[in-house]
Amino acid sequence: MHAVDLPGALARGAIVVDIRAQAQRVTEGTLPGALAIERDVLERRCNPLSSDHLALAVGHDVEWIIVCSDGYASSIAAAALQQLGLRKATSLVGGYRAIKTAGLLGSLIAAKHCVREMATVTAH
């Protein structure tokens, strides 16, 4: 997936996962609206069969968009998720840098899971 495809994927309900290490996020910048899940726990958190899965990991048809700095590590991570049966897992070509270059850093906060979470927080 390319950065220009991100708004459409978010409209479909895709979930963006930033697998950059904390130090990279501090140095390069955050990705508001993305879930920050470091690479070493990604499979456990996204796999609905894992006892450690996220509440958003409701099935094998969730569209996970994996982001790293430049797209390399995320391509390997997305392939690992696909091997678990998460067939809609994909990598963002060019990673965080591509999102930043395309001027789409703010687009993730409109993702369905972010809007839903914000509505829940606001209601309380």
Q: What is the CATH number of the domain that holds 88?
A: 3.40.250.10
Half-sphere exposure of 40 (CA within 13 A, CB side): 2
Residue 119 pLDDT class (50, 70, 90 cuts): low
> Tokens 């904390």 — which residue?
22
Instruction: State what percent of residues in the chain have pLDDT above 90.
Output: 83
Q: How many domains does the chain have?
A: 1
pLDDT mean over 90-108: 95
CA-to-CA distance for 29 and 105, rounded, in angstroms? 10
pLDDT mean over 63-85: 98
CA-to-CA distance for 81 and 57, rounded, in angstroms? 12
- Greatest Cα pair distance, the chain, in angstroms, is 40
> Tokens 């067939």 — which residue?
87
User: Would the pLDDT of 71 be above 50?
Assistant: yes
Residue 15: phi and psi, rounded to 5, are -115, 125
User: Would the pLDDT of 72 be above 80?
Assistant: yes
Lowest-pLDDT range, 34-43, 48-57, 77-86, 101-110?
Answer: 101-110
- Domain residues for 50? 3-123
